Structure 1
Amino acid sequence: MATSARDLRRSGRGPVVAGIELAAGGVRAVVGRREEGRLLLLGNGFSQLPPSAINGGLVVDRAAVSTAITGALGHAEVREHASRIVAAIDGDDIRTFHIGTTFDRAAAAEPIVASEVERALREAREAAARAARDGAAEDPALRGVATVQLREDRAGFAVDGRPLEQLIGFQGRFVEVRSDISLAPLLQAGAATTAIEDAKRKGTVASGIHGLARLLALSGYTDGAVLRLGADLTAFAVIRGGRVVATRVFGLGRDAFLSRAQSRDVDARVWARCVVAPLPSQEAQLPGRWSFVGVPETLVALPHALGDALVEARGGAVDLVPLKISTASRIIADASLHADHLVACGAAALAAELT
């Protein structure tokens, strides 16, 4: 007998979803469903890509990528078919804006009711979208580039500065709705969407590093940074107070270092300076806790150089460790899952509406 959407909500279960990472070198997919606030994974898959099929997050060889999507999902969907798909991409020109919209309540002593929340969410969504568009228009790298909103995710609430997971029943004067808005160049988002459609599937596109960091924040990673070294790019995100507050992506990845073994130490120091360069709109210093993924043993010079650069920038000790699956405690998975799957897991968590 079929299970209705209402029954799924009552039981804490969600529909079967898939998260896909589209990156240089391959496509990773995970399939799972929300179970009582966690993501129960049912399968995972990987399909290799020709070296130039995806470059800097842009799908170049649409046929190869759509075939890889079909293959990765075929392995991941052995047990159940996904009805909802989110694909994760990263690139230099993908932006995620972290926006707070504040409302002044006249009846500060009265408990917040559902109708107030609905109105606040609607108005905050519109205000955040405008702020993101304005931010993109002021970004020199995006000047003259047509962009599209990938998605809007609620990042939490606050009442009189106190962070909350929900608003109903609380009292206070100033209500803040926190939103994360991701934008991407139209060409990049459209190419990824078309590759999914060519694989005979329907799905949306999201920022990979933001989805990964959001999953870690939901799992209790309250303060720190997560860094992913891809084949052709580096992406990292900063988490403060259990919220993703900044992301950066730049086009320097594993392949560049592996092809220049003779200058690896010098290259590592240049790379580290790119990571620790000041983030726009972030006055606070970079965190002292970092987790990294995608760094092979042959490139240990990279985290070593980053540690030195962070110590110099912060003036104190730092902690850099490989990212472990257990850090994403909202994921329930078997031993076949490893840290390289976590970007796809972040996309699946978005698809499952994990909060």
Structure 2
Amino acid sequence: MAIWVKAAAAAGLSVMISSVAISAAFAEQLKLGVSLPLSGPASLAGTSIREGIEFAVKQANQKGGVFDQDVKVFIEDDEGNPTKGVTAVRKLIEQDHVVGISGTYVSAVAAAESKVAKEYKVPMISAGSTSSAVTDANTAGDPWFFRAFPGSRAQAKQTASDTLKKLNAKTVAVLYENSIYGKSLADEFKSNYEGIGGKVVAMEAYNPGDKDFYSSLTNVRAQSPSAVYIAGLMDSGAQIIKQAGELGVQTQIVGSGSMMSDKLIELAGPASEGFAVSSMFEPSTPNKHGAEFAKEFRAAYKKEPDVYSAIGFDSMGLLIEAARRAGKPDGAAMQKQLLNMPDFPLSQGPDRTTAKFDDKGSVEFKVGLAIVKNGKREWLPFD
């Protein structure tokens, strides 16, 4: 009887050891989450970002993955809605057990989601959210929301300078989306533009999802500005440009970084000719790492990448590399690595731009300017 008990105990111990070993093996798989607006007003950008994210994962897995296993990605559609975004992030963390998240695009959603990510100690890297307010909310030296490109403050400052100095526009009317993203860009643009000698003659707000801008554009036309600056998302931006053409608004139109996409040219049609936009990435980039990404993306998807796919590629690439350097799929360990990766190359920005995050989790680099000519964006050289 004693022998049987010992044998059973030994067998049970063997099963337990095997189970622990199997659990440990499965625990080593890197699980990452994605939250994006894949439906709704911001879905045009969301789908492009997703392509860049999936391309980064595909490349990593073709090279053996991480911890000798494929990287596994869970994707949630937040619809550009803060409430749904919080639900999406909680699902990714609590049910899918991800240790890092790429997301999201709409800044108001990112602000809500980042609070959940911080609560669970899961690093989150912006997949397009630009508002500086989201990184400003981080604790200095302990950020949990990262953005691997300049925020709205830096982008607006550069655009203000380019509008006055490169486009020679002395007066500007500002049309801005009434959101955390649009208002922060508009306020920063106005402050910087007037600070260097320009004059803002009108500030017109519109709501996310609006499609009729004729009234606002008629008011703007009456002011006869040298330029119109649009601070908002691509969908509305394309409609504003198109309707401005229909109304015969003969002025330079300048857009925020969300509008640096071929899709905007397609949506706005001939009215987009001459449109100027802040640009962090173009397929013709002088950034060698970005040029290599563009080449490989083009071969894989049979089309040109845009800034959204570049943002997605960088965002997911950073999470994968942070886990690899941490040596384990652990959010806290990955966060520490992200703060010490100034050697990691980014596809955006000038040549040799790297992920040198500041203590609030943001990366700064020179933002370029592109102008639509003959239906294509031409990127002006970096200063």
- The TM-score, its normalising length taken from structure 1, stands at 0.32
Q: 1 or 2, which has the higher strand percentage?
A: 1
- The TM-score, its normalising length taken from structure 2, stands at 0.30
Q: 1 or 2, which has the higher helix percentage?
A: 2
**Greater RCO structure (CA 8 Å; 6+ sep):** 1
| Structure with max Cα Rg | 2
